[in-house]
Amino acid sequence: MRPARALINLEALRHNYHLARERHGGRAFAVVKANAYGHGAVPCVRALAATADGFAVAFIDEARELREAGITAPILLLEGVFEAAELLEASRLGLWPAVHHAAQVEMIEKTALPAPLYVWLKVNSGMNRCGFLPGAVRQAWKRLVVSGKTQHCGFMTHFARADEPEAEATAAQIRIFDEATHGLPGEKSLANSAAILSCPNAYRDWARPGIMLYGADPLPGEDAGLLPVMTLESRIVAVRELAAGQPLGYGARFVAPRPTRVGLVALGYADGYPRATPDGTLVAVDGLFAALIGRVSMDMLTVDLTDLPEAGIDSTVELWGERIPVGTVAQSVGTIPYELLCNVKRVAFEWHG
Ligand SMILES: *Cc1c(COP(=O)(O)O)cnc(C)c1O
């Protein structure tokens, strides 16, 4: 069997959820959209089911999967619904749709529902991606209440720059949100992971931690006490000696500067390890640091074993996890850990804890 695996530590996931909720206070939706950021939504949600106050996914198909797995906790639909039929299903399944634009309000007004909905009105407090402008919030809220189709209307917003604690932008978004919702009843939810870790002013009734649940710190250079959840690893399946001057792999991106012992690892970009990863990016071979060399192929990649004489065929290679923070790999590729984690596929998943 091909040795490429993603090991998912559910104990670490629970630890991180508790840390997020303790830090914020109140309740917390565990954000498990995109297959729990690539970690496997159903096993992750089952691991949190006894403790989590609720879950958040992007859209209804992701929520249906959780209901079918027997999850009864509240599930927030962060993107809301796309058509009226989904409102019916949301009502039947007890899902909590976000309402972020006028067409969704209209859909609610026009659709006969089996039971009133628990909705979250999304305020555009400055990210300008989705949500009602501050001046339109009261009217949208009123329409939802008058429609008689809602049993509760909470208010949420999302931050554009919470991962830059020094930026004024988040404080401004909070002020705008508070003004727009002043005096309106209903629960509030502002904070994503970065705001949970850096912005107590954003704490309200519900937090929405995502990336921090998976142990990746949204604020670079800070140690918040999070534990990595996914270890992406494979094994060395072949070893080769290169003479100085010999090229390695596609495009001959790497040319051996010295006699070089190369380990071939059974994992590639089709498994989610980015093709753009540069030479020199760290991996851990049997627990010891080594460097990626040569361009990552679809199914394979190559590492420098020259300084690790003990390493050889069958040595375990960690691409990220306990020893190599996924954030470090993301940084060297010029992306964020979110993208790396939710792109993991094709490898064998093993959940434990
Ligand atoms: C994805 C998402 C979150 C979680 O964000 P993290 O940065 O992963 O904590 C929270 N709120 C909304 C609206 C989201 O789309």
Residue 221 lies in a domain: no
43 and 139 share one domain: yes
Q: Is residue 2 part of a domain?
A: no
Does residue 221 have a pLDDT over 80?
no
Q: Is the confidence at residue 167, as pLDDT, over 90?
A: no
Query: What's the confidence (pLDDT) of residue 223?
Result: 87
At 165, list the tokens: 């604690």
Pick from 214, 244, 265: which residue ends a domain?
214
Instruction: Give residues with Cβ within 8 angstroms of 284, minimum separation 6.
Output: 290, 317, 318, 323, 324
Minimum CA distance residue for ligand 1 atom 15: 78
Residues 258, 206 share a domain: no
Whether residue 241 is found in the same domain as residue 168: no
Residue whose CA is at the smallest distance from ligand 1 atom 14: 78
Q: Which of 185, 214, 243 is the last residue of a domain?
A: 214
Looking at the predicted structure, is the pLDDT value of residue 129 above 90?
yes
Q: Which atom of ligand 1 is nearest to the CA of 211?
A: 8
| Spatial distance between the Cα atoms of 79 and 58, rounded to a whole number of angstroms | 5
How confident is residue 222, by pLDDT bands cut at 50, 70 and 90? confident
d(CA 150, ligand 1 centre) in Å: 24
Looking at the structure, tell me whether residues 274 and 316 fall in a common domain.
yes
Whether the per-residue pLDDT at 4 is higher than 90: the answer is yes
User: Which atom of ligand 1 is closest in space to residue 58's alpha carbon?
Assistant: 15
Write out pLDDT tens, residues 234-293: 999 999 999 999 999 999 999 999 999 999 999 999 999 999 999 999 999 999 999 999
What amino acid is encoded at 114 in this protein? Answer: P
Residue 88 lies in a domain: yes
The tens digit of pLDDT for each residue in 62-105 reads: 999 999 999 999 999 999 999 999 999 999 999 999 999 999 99
pLDDT score of 330 more than 90:
yes
Q: Find out whether the beta carbon of 234 lies less than 6 Å from any atom of ligand 1.
A: no
Q: Which atom of ligand 1 is nearest to the CA of 192?
A: 9
Distance of CA 226 to the CA centre of its chain: 14
- The answer, yes or no, to whether any atom of ligand 1 lies below 6 A from the CB of 131, is no
Q: Which amino acid residue places its CA nearest to atom 6 of ligand 1? A: 210
Q: What is the CATH number of the domain that holds 127?
A: 3.20.20.10
pLDDT, mean over the chain: 97
Token pair for residue 113?
Answer: 């529902």
Question: Quick one: which atom of ligand 1 is closest to the CA of 158?
Answer: 13
The ligand 1 atom nearest the CA atom of 196: 9
- Give me ligand 1 centre to Cα 207, in Å: 10
For residue 329, the domain's CATH number is: 2.40.37.10
Look at residue 142 and tell me if it is in a domain: yes
Q: Any residues with CB less than 8 A from the CB of 15 and at least 6 apart, and which?
A: 227
pLDDT at 40 over 90: yes
pLDDT at 220: 74
Assess whether the C-beta atom of 158 lies below 6 angstroms from ligand 1. yes
What's the 14 CA to ligand 1 centre distance in angstroms?
A: 18
**Whole domain around residue 35: which residue ranges?**
10-214
Dist CA 100 CA 109 (whole Å): 15
Do residue 138 and residue 251 come from a single domain? Answer: no
- For residue range 175-210, list pLDDT tens digits in order: 999 999 999 999 999 999 999 999 999 999 999 999
Which of 121, 155, 158, 217 to mutate to test ligand 1, by most ligand atoms within 8 A of the CB atom? 158
pLDDT at 212: 98
Residue 269: count of CB within 10 angstroms of its CB: 18
Q: Are residues 287 and 165 in the same domain?
A: no
CA dist 135 and 167 (Å) reads 24
Give the closest residue to 97 by CA, choosing from 72, 62, 60, 66. Answer: 60
Whose CA is closest to atom 1 on ligand 1? Answer: 210
Domain boundary pick from 164, 179, 214: 214
Q: Tell me, yes or no, whether 27 and 142 share the same domain.
A: yes
- Tell me: do 239 and 113 sit in the same domain: no
d(CA 243, CA 247): 9
**Assigned token pair, 43:** 């096993």
The total number of structural domains in the chain stands at 2
Question: In the chain, what percentage of residues exceed pLDDT 70?
Answer: 100
93, 31: one domain = yes
Q: Compute, in angstroms, the gap from residue 103 CA to the centroid of ligand 1.
A: 23
pTM score, whole prediction: 0.97
Residues 87 and 209 in one domain: yes
- Looking at the annotation, which residues are catalytic? 33, 250
Ligand 1 centroid to Cα of residue 69, in Å, is 23
